[in-house]
Amino acid sequence: MDSSASRYIRQAEEALLQIFSGIDAQVKGNLRRVLQAYRHHRVGAHHFASVSGYGHDDLGRQVLDRVFAEIMGAEAAIVRVQFVSGTHAIATALYGVLRPGDEMLAVVGAPYDTLEEVIGLRGENQGSLKDWGIDYRQLDLVRGQGELGRDPGEVDWQGLETAVGDRTRLVLIQRSCGYGWRRSLSIAEVERIIASVKRQNPDTICFVDNCYGEFVEDREPTMVGADLMAGSLIKNPGGTIVTTGGYIAGRADLVETCACRLTAPGVGSEGGATLNQTRLMFQGLFLAPQMVAEAIKGTHLTAHVFDALGYPVSPAPLEKRRDVIQAVQLGSPEKLIAFCKAIQQHSPIDAYVEPVPAPQPGYDSQLVMAGGTFIDGSTSEFSADGPLREPYVVFCQGGTHWTHMAIALEAAVAVIGPASPSLP
């Protein structure tokens, strides 16, 4: 391996020792919360048994819902293999609580790409929210040096104070940066947004897209006033071993309304066979705090290395993490593709596969994706991807252990090189 690439990795590892120690300390608090919930609800091996058919009287599923709700500080939760993705869980929540004539307000700029067709911002509106007479409005981000600059966008806090209208039934709060060049939200910022919304209209539902955010801090959105939140089990809360699924958590009445959308009115949360996946979901949730910590270490490492190489990074190397995504602005499609190829070549699965740009369902731009993961599409395992559009940002996420990321990043540095020829 290129000696200069090894040097960048080694310097980053040495500089981050104290931060890594602090991340390990936080695992203990989050894991303690998990263990308390398991003990409180008397989780046992008998809860791993599954039922078939309608899924009625599935004791393991019922207890998992209660355990998950307690860990997240929510009144109720539905944790289901029937959710095919985080987008599906989010869409189910939106369709569950919104009605014709309502308005949805996104307060952190444009939503993640896969929600655009759900909302009706592009595509054929095949049953989109727009199709059902639900209006959409967004509060754009405030930027210092422009979208293509080094300064990621921030919430328009001043504009937020008067943004909620009489018809604003739901406020969408996307916690992670998604494919945007912006800062992901801290729990303190989520709490501040919710407080502002509730001052304007206490009846407006505060809904958080919690993908990539679970266990990153010691609190979750439902602990600071969020009425509802949703996410994917092949991201943080699945602990890298859950094979599919998602969750919705929050106020009990809203969660049950969403469950009725997922299944049918009258069935709600009482249906849905777990298909022998219950043990994996319990085990993955137990592993999640540690797996998330490893991914967070990887984001610091990535940021430190590529910042030293002269590339804009978000978040900054020493900045406290708000999710498990690290964005690096590479500046050209060639570098974006080369980066993803290097990561794929150092993945445990399909290392021989060469990532190429291609269209993906739900996305407007072609994507290049490195994802040699044991669970197809899992972003709780180490992966890297990005849309082929300016400013050509690669988004790294997940990771079972930071040492794997160090090996893969060393290969990426060797092929990408520094942003400027003047750097060694």
Contact 96, 140 (CB under 8 A): no
- Residue at 183 is within a domain: yes
pLDDT score at 76 = 98
pLDDT score at 3 = 80
- Residue at 123 is within a domain: yes
**Interval 72-103: pLDDT, tens:** 999 999 999 999 999 999 999 999 999 999 99
**Interval 339-379: pLDDT, tens:** 999 999 999 999 999 999 888 777 778 999 999 999 998 99
pLDDT score at 149 = 53
**Length of the chain measured in residues:** 424
Q: Which amino acid is at 64?
A: L
- Residue at 151 is within a domain: yes
pLDDT score at 144 = 65
Q: What is the CATH number of the domain that holds 369?
A: 3.90.1150.60
Domain boundaries, position 132: 42-285
Last residue in a domain, options 265, 285, 305: 285
- Residue at 36 is within a domain: no
Is residue 85 domain-shared with residue 11, that is, in the same domain?
no
Is residue 70 domain-shared with residue 218, that is, in the same domain?
yes
Last residue in a domain, options 252, 285, 318: 285
- The token pair that represents 50 in the structure block: 């599954």
- Residue at 424 is within a domain: no
**Interval 148-175: pLDDT, tens:** 456 778 899 999 999 999 999 999 999 9
Mean pLDDT by 10 residues, the chain (424 residues): 83 95 94 98 96 92 98 98 97 98 97 93 87 97 63 90 97 94 95 98 98 97 98 97 98 98 96 94 98 98 97 95 96 96 97 91 84 93 93 95 96 93 66
pTM of the model: 0.95
pLDDT score at 4 = 86
Is residue 321 domain-shared with residue 210, that is, in the same domain?
no
pLDDT score at 365 = 81
- Residue at 399 is within a domain: yes
